Amino acid sequence: MDKAKTALTGNESKTSTPLTFLDLFSGCGGFSLGLEAAGLVCKAAVDSNQSAIETFKANHTKSALGLVRDLTKFSPKDLDELLGGSVPINVIVGGPPCQGFSKARMVDGSNHGGRLVHDARRDLYQEFLRFVNYYQPSVFIMENVPGIKSAAGGEFFTRLQVESRELGYRVIPYEVEAWRFGVPQKRIRQLIIGTRRELPLFIPDRYIRPTHARDNDGEELQPLVSLGEAIGDLPAILAGDEQYERQYDSSLREKHIEKYGTRYIYDVLQADKTKALTAHSARSHSLRDMRDFARLHEGENSKHALARGVEMEFPYDRENFKDRYTRQHRDQLCSTIVAHLKKDGLMFIHPTQTRSLTPREAARVQSFPDTFTLPEARTNSFAQIGNAVPPLVGKAMGIAVLEYISAAHDGDNLAPRLDIELPDGRNAAVELLENFVESTYLRPLANLSKDDFLRAWWAVGFLHPNLHPDAASDNGKTLSLGPKRGVSFVIEPVYVRSGWPVELIPVAIEARRRFDDGMLSEDEYYCSAAVIAGAVATACLSNVQSPTGRKTR
C-alpha cells in the first residue's frame, strides 16, 4: 500500500467489494487520498495540469490511472476504453476549477456583469456532469468555493442543481467547514452532493460526522488542531533557504509531542514514517518585506499594526490593501491555504519566523502527510496544495458515502415502516395535496395533528422523489414559467434552484420546524420509504408526463 495512502487509513469498506470512484479535475489528488483512506478504490484521476498528475502518480498506486487530459475534449467513452470497459463506477468526485467563482473575483467585479461570460471555467461543471450522466454513479460530490452560491446572482449555483436533477439525481448543497474534521485552517467549501433518485435520501447530519469542535460541550469530539500543532516540530529555517530535503529535528519533535501529543503529527501527518523532510524550503523576501514582517505581532495583520501606530514600509494602497501582510498565530487556525501562495506568501507569515510558510507547512495545514511527495518547484507545490481538497475532508466524505451506500443496500434507510398509507399512485397524491393545501387556508399548519401532517408530508415525498427536504431552505428567487395549462399547483410553478413547488414550500417549512422542535423524528422528516415508493411509481409510468391534477393557479 502506498505510504501517502496509509497515512490516513483506519476506516475500511463494510462491503466485500470496495466501491470505486473517479476523481475529475483531480489536481494532485487530495480528495482521492482521503477517499482511499476511507476504503474506496480510485480507478482514475483526470486533470489538464501535467505537474499535478505527476504528483498524483507519485503518491498513488499504479492501479489508479493518472491522466493528463482536457476534460472539454476528453469523453467518458475515451476513459471507459482506457479502463478496459464495463468497469462500474460507484462514486464520482471532483472540483471544477473554482477561481471563476472566488471571493477575489467578487471584489474585482468578475462575478457579475459583462466580464462574467468571458470566464470559461464557470461552465466546467457541465463536463463533470457529462461523466456523471455516462457512468450513472450512485453518488457524486462536486466541490467548489462558497462564492459559487452568489456568482451572477446565484445563476451558476442554480444551473448546477437544475442540470443534476435533469440527469436523475437528487441534490443537496452542503457547506463543509474543514476545521470540524481536524484540518487546522479556516477553510470553508461548498459541496454539491447528488444521489440517484431511486436511492434513499442522503441525510447530511446522519452520515457526515465532524470529529473536532471549538467547545466540546460534552460531546465526544476532539479539540481543534491549531497551526502550532500542525507545524511546530519543523526545524527553523531562514527566508531564501532553497534546500528541498533535510533532516527532522528529533529534540524539537520530542518537545512538540510533550505539548501536543501524537494525534496530528503521527496519526495524520505520519512524520514517523519518513526519515527525510522534503519541501520545507522557504522563498526569498525583500529586506523591506522582512522588516515589515518583524513589525507584526503574532496573529496580527498590517491593518492592525497600522491601527496601533506602527509605520509600515509596504508600497501598496493603504486603503485597499491594509491587511496585505498577515502573521499567523500558533494557537489558532491558519488562514485558508490558497493557490495564490505560488505568487507570494505575504498573508501567510510564519508565527515566529521572519518568512512565509513553506510548501511542506502549507501541505501539513491541508492535512497532507509528510509521506506525500511534492514537486521540487515551489510554484507547482503551492498551486497544487492550495487547489486541493484536504485529505481529512475527503476521508470524512468517503466514510459518509460508504455508510450511505451500505445502508441503502441493506434497506436501513427505509425506516420507519409506514403506519400511514401512502397515496395509491401519483394522481392520488396530487389530489390529496391539493385538498391539503387548500385546507390550510382556513387552519394553520401548526394546528394539524401529527398523523394528518405526516400523511401530507409523505405524499410530498411520494409525488416529488427528486427533491430533498433540506433544499427547500434555499430556493433562490427565480420561478419557473407556468403553471402549464392543466398542471396542478402542487407541481408547478417551482423555484428553479431547489425544484420545490411554490405552494408546497410552507409545508416543507412546517416539516422542518417540527423536526427541529423534536416533533418529528429524523426518519419521519426524511422518510425515504415514501420517496423511494414515489421514484418507483414515476419510473413505472408509461407516459412520463406529470399528473394534471384538478386545479391550477
My answer on whether 83 and 179 are in the same domain is yes
My answer on whether 347 and 401 are in the same domain is no
Asked if residues 465 and 534 have their Cβ atoms less than 8 Å apart, the reply is yes
My answer on whether 293 and 215 are in the same domain is no
How many separate domains does the chain show?
A: 3
Asked if residues 356 and 327 have their Cβ atoms less than 8 Å apart, the reply is no
Rounded CA-CA distance 447/514 in Å is 11
Domain membership of residue 381 (yes or no) is no
My answer on whether 74 and 164 are in the same domain is yes
Rounded CA-CA distance 553/548 in Å is 12
pLDDT of res. 409: 83
Domain membership of residue 225 (yes or no) is no
> How far is it between the farthest Cα atoms of the chain?
79
Asked if residues 458 and 421 have their Cβ atoms less than 8 Å apart, the reply is no
My answer on whether 439 and 317 are in the same domain is no
Domain membership of residue 364 (yes or no) is no
My answer on whether 124 and 170 are in the same domain is yes
Rounded CA-CA distance 291/297 in Å is 12
My answer on whether 32 and 134 are in the same domain is yes
Cα 7 to Cα 36, 177, 501: the distances in Å are 10, 22, 47
Domain membership of residue 239 (yes or no) is no
Q: What distance, in Å, lies between the first and last C-alpha atoms of the chain? A: 61
Rounded CA-CA distance 28/18 in Å is 22
Domain membership of residue 235 (yes or no) is no
The residue assigned the cell 427533491 is 467
My answer on whether 69 and 94 are in the same domain is yes
Rounded CA-CA distance 520/515 in Å is 5
> Would you state the cell numbers that stand for residue 424, as one nine-digit string?
395509491
Would you call 495 helix, strand, or coil by DSSP?
strand
Rounded CA-CA distance 317/319 in Å is 5
Q: Residues near 393 by Cβ (< 8 Å), separated by ≥ 6?
A: 34, 176, 178, 181, 183, 189, 367
My answer on whether 450 and 517 are in the same domain is yes
pLDDT of res. 541: 57
Rounded CA-CA distance 218/185 in Å is 23
My answer on whether 215 and 297 are in the same domain is no
Cα 466 to Cα 198, 287, 535: the distances in Å are 9, 60, 8
My answer on whether 331 and 396 are in the same domain is no
> Domain boundary residue among 357, 382, 402?
357
279 C-beta neighbours (distance < 10 Å), count: 24
Rounded CA-CA distance 164/395 in Å is 24
Asked if residues 537 and 425 have their Cβ atoms less than 8 Å apart, the reply is yes
Cα 42 to Cα 26, 54, 67, 232: the distances in Å are 11, 16, 13, 33
Rounded CA-CA distance 22/66 in Å is 10
Cα 404 to Cα 15, 413, 421: the distances in Å are 12, 8, 26
My answer on whether 93 and 107 are in the same domain is yes
Q: Which amino acid does the sequence have at 291?
A: R
In this structure, what are the phi and psi dihedrals at residue 245, rounded to the nearest 5 degrees? -120, 135
What is the domain-level CATH number for residue 75? 3.40.50.150
Q: What is the residue range of 65's domain?
A: 3-220+390-410
Asked if residues 365 and 185 have their Cβ atoms less than 8 Å apart, the reply is yes
> Domain boundary residue among 357, 372, 398?
357
In terms of DSSP bridges, do strands 65-68 and 91-94 run parallel, antiparallel, or are they unpaired? Answer: unpaired
pLDDT of res. 486: 79
Domain membership of residue 231 (yes or no) is no
The residue assigned the cell 387548500 is 438
pLDDT of res. 333: 99
Asked if residues 167 and 228 have their Cβ atoms less than 8 Å apart, the reply is no
289: left (phi over 0), alpha (psi -120 to 50) or beta: alpha
Q: Where are the alpha helices (DSSP H) in 2-154?
A: 3-6, 30-38, 50-59, 76-82, 103-108, 125-135
Burial class (CB in 10 A: 0-12, 13-18, 19+), 3: middle
- Closest Cα to residue 200, out of 465, 486, 398? 465
- Closest Cα to residue 409, out of 141, 205, 174, 139? 139
> Would you state the cell numbers that stand for residue 473, as one nine-digit string?
431552505
69: Cα separation from own chain's centroid: 23
Domain membership of residue 266 (yes or no) is no
Domain membership of residue 547 (yes or no) is no
Per run of 10 residues, the mean pLDDT along the chain (length 553 residues) is 45 66 98 98 98 97 94 96 91 80 44 45 85 98 90 86 96 96 98 95 96 79 98 98 97 98 98 96 97 96 92 81 88 97 96 98 99 97 98 98 92 60 93 96 93 96 96 92 80 95 97 98 92 85 48 54
Q: Which amino acid does the sequence have at 234?
A: L
> Domain boundary residue among 341, 357, 373?
357
Q: Where are the beta strands (DSSP E) in 69-116?
A: 91-94
Q: Where are the beta strands (DSSP E) in 336-492?
A: none
Rounded CA-CA distance 298/401 in Å is 40
